[in-house]
Structure 1
Amino acid sequence: MPAPLLSLTWSDPITGRRGFLVIDRLVRGVSSGGLRMRAGCTVDEVAQLAHGMTLKEALHYNPEGKYVPLGGAKGGIDCDPRDPEAYGVLVRYLEAMRPYIESFWTTGEDLGLTQDTVDRAATDAGLVSTVQAVYRLLDDEVAARARLRDAFAIDVDGIGLDELVGGCGVAESILTALDRAGVAYEGTRVCLQGLGTMGGGTARFLDRAGLKVVAVADVKGTIANPDGLSVESLLAARDAHGTVDRSMLGAGDLELPGDAWLSVETDVLVPAAISYAIDPGNQDQITARWIVEAANLPVLPAAEELLTRRGVTVLPDVVVNSATNAWWWWTLFGDIEASADQAFAHTRRSMRALVSGILERAEQDGTTPRAAAHAWAADQLPIIAERYP
């Protein structure tokens, strides 16, 4: 991984908690990457994520599109988002990062934070917007900002559109892989670690496509039902952090230990919560044929090597969870309007083409989907740099 353009560490003057910002690459002077908050977050973790954002941006480059990929970046705060002091830490972090956000870093929600929380804290920190650095690249800033605002106001069956597009992209990645393998949707079993924004959206789309969600895990443990869980009931019973109210479980639902999600009998395993969840020590418990990385960095490289040896396909995060970031820019730059139908259709079309291309390249090169995705991005980056020096 190349050295980033900028890496800095901030210390909160009140609590002593630390925050990080890493700018991996700039395109037209701007970078893109979310802000995460979790206890134990490190600058190395943020640097890996920032480089991943560079790859995600490059993978979605379409020379005929209005959205021009940006550079990659990431922010992180070492703090439990449930801590009573977390919001104050977030506001002070954004105050400290204000010059970077105003100039060249566009950001939004990531692990541990919702977009509503980030937006509220940004206002309290005196920011116009967390994506204001990109405004100077827009042909019509007023119309673009109105389009994005209207898109974020759209509600789909009780859930905000912004909370669903990422899950739509993950689900389409899975459906594409099943189609290429000739596997029917009906009855295909899925287990998800995490039922927050990304995991919840993924579960909803897969359930409606006919797949059977047999287990989900949150901070309280694993909920399983070999006959299939009621996804809509679980979504209605979760809190803002994706934790399910156990009093709302169905009669046949089982409560299992926290790490039981790893060994559930399933066809597709979707880590959609924390980074570094699957390591060499626990990968042998996994029964799934596919691991689909809805979270960032959930599978350690050494674990992926062992999984690949025993025939498990890992669809990488830089591809699978890239739709949320892309949707922001498709909407802001004007490739799509503020419409749920357009958002889902464009996401499905783009993700199906991308995943199909990555899987085909991996097959042709005799390598893994991750290596194929990195090679694809490496091909795109010099083209972007030449067009936008």
Structure 2
Amino acid sequence: MSNLSYIDDSNGAWQTYLAQVDRVAPYLDHLEEYIDTLKRPKRALIVDVPIVMDDGSIRHFEGYRVQHNLSRGPGKGGIRYHPDVDLNEVMGLSAWMTIKTAVMNLPFGGAKGGVRVDPRTLSARELERLTRRYTSEISHIIGPQKDIPAPDVGTNPRVMGWIMDTYSSGQGHTVMGVVTGKPIHLGGSLGRVKATGRGVFITGQQVAEKIQLPLKDAKVAVQGFGNVGSEAAYLFADAQSKIVAIQDHTGTVHNPEGMDVEALKLHLEQHQGVAGFAGAKEISNDEFWLVDMDILIPAALEGQITPERAQNLTAKLVLEGANGPTYPAAEDILLERGVTIVPDVICNAGGVTVSYFEWVQGMANFFWSEEEVNQRLDALMIKAIHDVWQTAEDKVCSLRTAAYILACDRILKARQDRGIFPG
């Protein structure tokens, strides 16, 4: 079997990942015999997370931590708090982390975690109780040399601080390296919050040059305006691109002449969303996909670019700021239409790369300036995207398949050379 029998969501994150792995198999030569290693997670933990609410009642939440592959090092991957979190999603996200860390040639494997909860409905104290109880339930499988969580959708540096404190309490001393994405004063790295969006811009800049798409006056549409989408938008605006459409949880705004991102930033601080922004017209969420654009940055959740949306998309370049935003069938349509897709496993790898820097800095107790962090990040991102581009040209395949070729080769060589115990 190449799948797990209890995962039956045909359109889920795990199934999308499996389809992507199947596409790379013909390029793996003798390593293909190890490909089942990539088609099943090493470890999947489901935990009950009971907490006492502020009103004295007890509620139960379901939590997960999946370690997909540890052949190249400890697991690495975020923790997501969202009402739609389930095992299928966490498995898929953990697998993409395996590919992502390998594409960037970081000494990590892939992992992911989550709790099915809407964090906006909890008080600060309830959120802390939830985090600490969840941490206690998964503490036996995480650690700086085992599995290192980080922020994801619905979590932030404050949550990482609670995780570090809870885990450290059980160890009897401060364990700085158990998580990344921590507050700066608790051992976090400068540049971490903006790193994923910066990576989207850097890879987009490199590929736009290769396909001869000038960034000056290029029309950019962004779905999702959190840390990733907003930072990417600011950097593209600095490159004189026009941010023509933005969609977030509050709605969609559009201005074909481009938006003032500084004014938008002020609006976001005041209203916590793009809806009502005076510098643009509100349109329906469905209309977002029909806007005239050169570059699309899906930076929200997975499964956003469907075959139907792909048929009408006007973008020449898609930069996957989110994990798994494009269904395989939709990707086929886009590729047939000549659209270039920079896949998530490299496009949004800036975050995990600076998480690696944070882990290294914490281990050494020696911290870098933000300029040093950005220089190191840019250098690694540029090398990685050039390696993927060259592989795509050599193998005559898409950038996603090329990224998987590089990643799977590294992962499966590690699996081959480590062997199987007991033999």
TM over 0.5, yes or no? yes
> 1:120 and 1:267, CA in 2 relative to 1: closer, same or farther beyond 3 A?
same
Is there any run of 5+ residues in structure 1 with no aligned partner, and where? 62-67, 135-144, 155-160
TM-score under structure 2 length normalisation? 0.78
Q: How many matched pairs?
A: 363
Residue 310, structure 1, aligned to residue 337, structure 2: yes
Residue 112, structure 1, aligned to residue 154, structure 2: yes
1:256 pairs with one of 267, 283, 295: 283
> 1:148 and 1:288, CA in 2 relative to 1: closer, same or farther beyond 3 A?
farther
Q: Distance in 2 between matches of 1:306 and 1:350?
A: 31
| Secondary structure, aligned partner of 1:261 | helix
| Secondary structure, aligned partner of 1:92 | helix
> 1:242 and 1:94, CA in 2 relative to 1: closer, same or farther beyond 3 A?
farther
Residue 323, structure 1, aligned to residue 350, structure 2: yes
Residue 368, structure 1, aligned to residue 398, structure 2: yes
1:345-356 matched pairs, under 5 angstroms: 345-356=375-386
Residue 99, structure 1, aligned to residue 135, structure 2: no
Q: Distance in 2 between matches of 1:170 and 1:367?
A: 21
> 1:91 and 1:149, CA in 2 relative to 1: closer, same or farther beyond 3 A?
closer
Residue 132, structure 1, aligned to residue 132, structure 2: no
What amino acid is aligned across from residue 230 of structure 1 in structure 2? D
CA contact (8 A) 2:163 2:179 kept: no
> 1:361 and 1:242, CA in 2 relative to 1: closer, same or farther beyond 3 A?
farther
Match of 1:287 in 2: 314
Q: Distance in 1 between matches of 2:408 and 2:394?
A: 17
Is there any run of 5+ residues in structure 2 with no aligned partner, and where? 1-37, 51-57
| Secondary structure, aligned partner of 1:379 | helix
| Secondary structure, aligned partner of 2:220 | strand
Residue identity over aligned pairs, in percent, reads: 27
Q: Distance in 2 between matches of 1:59 and 1:48?
A: 17
Please report how far the alpha carbon of residue 372 of structure 1 lies from its aligned counterpart in structure 2 after TM superposition. Answer: 0.6
Q: Distance in 1 between matches of 2:66 and 2:269?
A: 31
Q: Distance in 2 between matches of 1:116 and 1:130?
A: 14
| Secondary structure, aligned partner of 2:282 | strand
What amino acid is aligned across from residue 182 of structure 1 in structure 2? Q
> 1:150 and 1:241, CA in 2 relative to 1: closer, same or farther beyond 3 A?
farther
TM-score under structure 1 length normalisation? 0.85
2:389 pairs with one of 348, 356, 359: 359
Q: Who wins on radius of gyration, i.e. which is larger?
A: 2
Q: Distance in 1 between matches of 2:72 and 2:258?
A: 48
Q: Which has the larger displacement, 52-61 or 188-197?
A: 52-61
Q: Distance in 2 between matches of 1:320 and 1:363?
A: 18
Structure 1 residue runs of 4 or more that deviate by more than 6 Å after TM superposition? 145-148, 386-389
Please report how far the alpha carbon of residue 120 of structure 1 lies from its aligned counterpart in structure 2 after TM superposition. Answer: 3.2
Match of 2:80 in 1: 36
Please report how far the alpha carbon of residue 244 of structure 1 lies from its aligned counterpart in structure 2 after TM superposition. Answer: 3.1
Match of 2:67 in 1: 23
What amino acid is aligned across from residue 181 of structure 1 in structure 2? I
Q: Distance in 1 between matches of 2:184 and 2:135?
A: 25
Q: Deviations over 1:297-321 (max 9, x none)?
A: 1111121122222222221111111
Q: Distance in 1 between matches of 2:231 and 2:161?
A: 21
Please report how far the alpha carbon of residue 383 of structure 1 lies from its aligned counterpart in structure 2 after TM superposition. Answer: 4.8
Q: Distance in 2 between matches of 1:150 and 1:105?
A: 18
> 1:388 and 1:379, CA in 2 relative to 1: closer, same or farther beyond 3 A?
same
